[in-house]
Structure formats: structure tokens, C-alpha cells
Structure 1
């Protein structure tokens, strides 16, 4: 029941408050509409209300898929960081002077790593062709390295470890994302295929740890009946 000028004020105030609460780099999306059954008092923003109402309902329908995609992207980001940490630590081990590996104390090894860390970071990134976004923060890495126990026993390079992580990022995760783009929220919870062929297979949500919503509801219904 507000006019256009008051609507602008409400929209601006809501956008400002939501921006303070949600600490995200993305621009906050605010929907403006009315969900009561009465007619709009002011008709000048009826088209905006109707369009935003349709948009917010569509957002709610796509919420399970969007959540799945966001969770998948988070997993990919963590996997890339794990790969970068592994490459850096193995490179540190390979560049550590032999006399420090054999006879040096942990304090001397830490001191050597601290002095040479910027150079080793650049060389490891260039050697393994890692993007700057995958590289950890050097300040935080140095702090963790200064308190790492057993720093003389850093992991040795194993190409199979990196290949396995890369295969998961390049092959397995895109398959999950492509499947999420083409199915509805209800289909994501169902196993692929049908009949006996579907037995033993997990639905898309189950493979990522969301569980089986249908089975959960059936179990709750059975407990209620008992």
C-alpha cells in the first residue's frame, strides 16, 4: 500500500541492511512484490511486483539445484587448494639442502624455509603451472609452517596424487555439474535409471552427501504410524 517514492526508500533501506548482514562479494538481489490477495492500491508498479513475484518463485524452485552447484564449486575450490599445498610442500622438500635434511634441527629447517619462502612459492607456482587463485596466502602459510611439527618429514613428490586430484576436478566434477543443470529438484534425489537397474546406484544428491529426501519422509511416516 505504498507509493513509488516510498517504495524506492524501502528498497534502498532493505538493500543496505541486507548488504551489511550478508558478507558476500556478489551484489545482493532484492525482490520487491506483494503476496496478499487484495488488489494493489497503486498501479504504477504492478508490472514490477508481478515480475519480481514470478522471479522469486522461480528462484525457490531452482534452490535445490543452485545449492548443489554451490556446494560442488566449493568442493572444487578446496581440491585445487589441496593440490597447491601439496605441490608447494613437496617442492620445499626437494629444495631443502641435504645437510639440513640429514643433520639440521627443526629450528634451522624452519629458518631456511622462512627465508626462502617467497622464492620457493614463485618457483613452485611456475613449475606446476598453478594459477594465482589456487596459491595460499603466503603470510598465513608462513605462520602455519613456523609451528609445523616434523617439518623435516615433508611429503615427497608423487605424481599419482596430483593426477588423481586433477582427474577428479576435470572429469568427475563436470559430470556432476552437467547432471545438475539438466534435472529438476525431484529428479536429483532419485537414483539414475529405473527398476532393477537402479538398485545400488545413488542419486545425485546422495552422492554429494545430501541423503535421500524421499526415504527420510517415508521413515518419518512409518514412525508416526507406529
Structure 2
């Protein structure tokens, strides 16, 4: 008789490859038939292939020329890659895809475009002028076992240089941004140049805000006051261009293996570097969730596309001669079609693309090729969304491979020779000495003493009188008090009061309050009680 416990123990662990293969199979059987029937692949997005369900994450490194993009990639790899070019002027003319190879070699990118096993076939649309500037760098680096990198030409604002490319760089960057798992956008802290090409690129990247990471590089060679000004100026300008509801994470430092030019802020710069490396290092864990999310968004768009086409088909006249005119009339009334489809099928607003975009797409379809609604195909699509997807998501392993080698093993720069996740423990110790409140604590301590503390503490009612001077709402002040009252005794000691005033300050500066108090904000005298929770 078989031992049931042993049977369960012998079951293989879920893997990213298995989950993505199941996703590919479900897409092919239940989503693709409706895509083909409704001409979705001709109008919105090409058909997905096996290469689109790859488990290796893609990171795109972009930014203005001479900001340290290629040097940063070399730092990650722990070596230079074939075909690299570094210099003070625009040097990286090519889009260079850096992948794992047993031997170093440089290949024309066109070999990837025609290879159906790869996911780069869509780049053919940018023509020969682009393909002549697209290369594949095969590099024998351990880092590339679980990561693929795309190095991009530097953004320039010289009109003649831009036209000399022969292709629109921002459109190519947009193509890669859609498919990338992380976008690292480099800036030189010394100088910002916000020309037309930069604005176009920044706006296209702003649509992928959750993938976007901003790097202020070469920050070790400027004074602290200049660094603060530069950070503020950059964020102000990016906010105006991107117009996103959230601000991407900004990493400040010197992102290469050379010693810092100024050592005053060494702890801070090293902590920033470790944070960025950990962000990239963990990408393989999340690539499968990104792929699933992309397919879900695609499927929801397909559903909208199908219902809109069905509405148009239903309202076309039977006489062929009048159909084209009627189709144009219906397209002009797309807002009404959206409203009716949303009401009848209870679809969320976010699933509908901009009206102008849908009008432009559907204007290209022959009126006689607009298909009628087929409930059987829609039923299979719903099966995919409501039955197959939950099952596939349950197969996603909680942990998977991470990036290792190069900078991630601490073989270069000032890192310890341990895995990065262990090195982060050292970062935590660095942060223990950097309580952000210290900068203002002398000012807050003076206010605290005017409140006549009893046994070193002030009651919440007493603190309230000082807090309401900020003119923040009672609700916000209540949240701030709960965060600052770390030991939850309804009173504030001198450190907790300083923390309270600091939280009010950052809220008045327009920043969000944390849901829970992060470790670095906990008053130093109380950190030992929370140590186990953060390790």
C-alpha cells in the first residue's frame, strides 16, 4: 500500500517554467482563438509566441549620454562586455542586447529578430536603419544566467544627431519598456539637459512607473547642498513630464566599482547601491507575475475590443454600399459605444483604451471583415480569466532563482564577499546610526521642554496642543500620534515627540505617511525591542 505522505513529499516543487508553460498553453487554447477571430493581432498587438513566456527578466538601462549607463552595466557584470563603448560624448550608438554566452562574441541583432525562439521579432517594424544599430553581445558572465540587459544609446538633444539615426529612438525605447521587467533611468547629478528627445523618452517611460527606477549617478563629487538642490530639481521636472500619481524610487550615489571621490556620505551611498542591487537581484522572483499581469491586461483589452466590434457589426446595414459610411458614423460615436458596452457587460473603466486610440485602430479594418459576436469564444475567454488563471497563479513558487555573480556576489567594490541578501544586514546596521530625525532633534527638544514633561514624558493631550499648530486634519494627526507613540503608552518621551514632529514635517512637505513605522524611523533607544521583527 502506498504511503500517501510519501506520495505528497515526492511531488515536484512548483517552478516558474512550469507555471509559464501552463499559462502559454491556456493562452493558446482559450485566448488566441478569439484574438484571431476578431483581428485583435492585426489591430492591437501581435500574437504571443513561446518566447514571450520566457522566465529570464529583462532590464533596460537608459538615460542621457555620459551618465554612466555602460559603466554601471560593467559593474553589474563584474567585467566589460563585447561591443561596449564608453566616453564623454555620445558613444553607445547601438541598442546592445547583452545575453549569456559560453564564449564572448558580437552578433548582428537581425539574427535575434528572425529567430522565432526569441522574443524580439517585433523589432522588425523599425526597419533596416534600426536593425543596423541593433547588436547582440554574448558574454560569459554568471549574472546573465538569470538576467538579460539592454544597453541603449544616450539621449541627445542635438537635432542633426537625432535625425542622423534614421529611426525614432523613443519608439524603440517604448517597445523595450513594454517588455522590460525593470527600467533604470540614469542622470548625471552634475547636469540635466531636458530637450525634446528626453521629454519624449521620459513620457513613454512614465507609463511604466512601477518598473521605473531613477538613478542620480556621480553624486559623490558634488557638495551636499548642491546634491539636495539637484534632487529637488530633478523630481520637480520629472513630475511635470511624467504626470504620474506616484513617484518612482530615486537612488543616489556612485554606481560603479571605483572609490568614492568624497567619503563624507559613504554610508548613505553604499546603502543606496545595495538597495538598487537587491531590487535587480530579486527580479527573477517576479518575472512570472509580470508576465501573468501582462496577459491579464491583454485579455481585458481583447474583451473590450470584441464587444465594441460586436456592437458595430450589429448596427451595420445589410446593404454593402452603405456599410462603410455607417461604420465611420459609428466610430465617431465611440463614446456612446463605450458607455453601452460598459453598462451591458459591467466592464471597469480601466479596461477601455482612449477613445481616439480605439477609433484609429478600428478605422483600419475593412467593414466587411468585422465579425459577428460568437458567445462560444467569449465563454472560453472567461474560463481562462476565472478558472485557469487562479490555478496558474497558485502554481507560482514563493521563491525562485535570483541574480548572482558580478556585483551581486560582492566581488567588486566595497562589498563583503557574501550574498547580497546577507550584505543587507550590514546596511541595516549603517542605518542604525542615521536616524533621520536627528537633523531636527535639537529644535524639537527645545519645544518638548516647554511642554513641562512629567517623568520625561508628555501626555497625549498636551502633545495635541502642539500638534494642531500644524493645521493638519485631526485624522492625520491621530495617525501621526499612533506612529510616534512607539511603546503605545499614550505618552511621548523626548525621542517619540521628536519623531512626531518629524512626521508632521514630512507630511507638510507633501510626502505620504508610512502605514507602519519603518525600522530606520524607530527611536534608537527602542530599536532593540523591534530587532527580531525586522531581521
1:127 to 328, 341, 344: 344
Tell me the SS of whatever aligns to 1:30: strand
1:109-156 deviations in Å (ceiling 9; x for gaps)? 32442465433331122111111111232223334434421x144222
Greater share of residues in strand: 2
Q: Paired residue for 2:263, among 41, 46, 53?
A: 41
SS in 1 for 2:350: coil
**Cross-structure match for 1:59:** 279
* Alignment deviations for residues 82-118 of structure 1 (CA, whole Å, 9 cap, x no partner): 111001111222234xxx2245433333244246543
TM-score (norm 1): 0.61
Report deviation, 1:182. 0.9
Instruction: Tell me the alpha carbon deviations over residues 31-75 of structure 1, each in whole angstroms, 9 at most, x when there is no partner.
Output: 234555679721xx4553343233222112112234443333222
- 1:139 maps to 356
Determine the structure 1 residue equivalent to 2:309: 89
Distance in 1 (CA, whole Å) between partners of 2:340 and 2:327 is 18
The corresponding residue for 2:401 is 185
The residue number in structure 1 matching 2:3 is: none
Per the alignment, do residues 61 and 144 of structure 1 end up closer, same or farther by CA in structure 2, a change over 3 Å counting? closer
Q: Paired residue for 1:79?
A: 299
User: Contact 1:33 / 1:53 at 8 angstroms: preserved in 2?
Assistant: yes
Report 1:1-226 matches (<5 A).
3-12=223-232, 19=238, 25=244, 26-33=246-253, 36=258, 41-42=263-264, 45-96=265-316, 100-102=317-319, 104-114=321-331, 116-149=333-366, 151-177=367-393, 179-180=395-396, 182-185=398-401
TM-score norm. by structure 2 comes to: 0.29
In 2, Cα distance between the equivalents of 1:48 and 1:178? 39
Mapped contact 1:65–1:180 kept (Cα < 8 A): no
Task: Say which is worse superposed, 61-70 or 128-137, in terms of deviation.
Answer: 61-70
* Matches of 2:327 and 2:230, distance apart in 1: 56
Structure 1 residue aligned with 2:525: none
SS at match of 1:121: helix
For 1:36 and 1:103, the matched residues in 2 are separated by 72
Taking the aligned partners of 1:13 and 1:185, their CA distance within structure 2 comes to 38
RMSD: 3.6
**Deviation of the 1:14 alpha carbon:** 6.1
The alpha-carbon distance between structure 1 residues 67 and 104, as it changes in their structure 2 partners (threshold 3 A), is same
Distance in 2, Cα, partners of 1:165 & 1:171:
10
Aligned length: 179
Taking a change above 3 Å as real, the CA distance of residues 15 and 87 of structure 1, as seen in their structure-2 partners, is same
Give the secondary structure class of the aligned counterpart of 2:313.
Answer: helix
- Give me the whole-angstrom Cα distance separating, in 2, the residues matched to 1:77 and 1:62: 23
Q: CA deviation at 1:174?
A: 4.4
Which SS does the other structure have where 1:31 is aligned? strand
* 1:89/1:37 CA distance change after superposition, 3 Å: same
- Contact 1:109/1:152 (<8 A) preserved: no
Residues 81 and 135, structure 1, Cα contact 8 Å, conserved in 2: yes
Shift of residue 80, structure 1, vs aligned partner: 0.8
Q: Which has the higher contact order (CA 8 A, sep 6+)?
A: 1
Deviation at residue 81 of structure 1 after TM alignment: 0.5
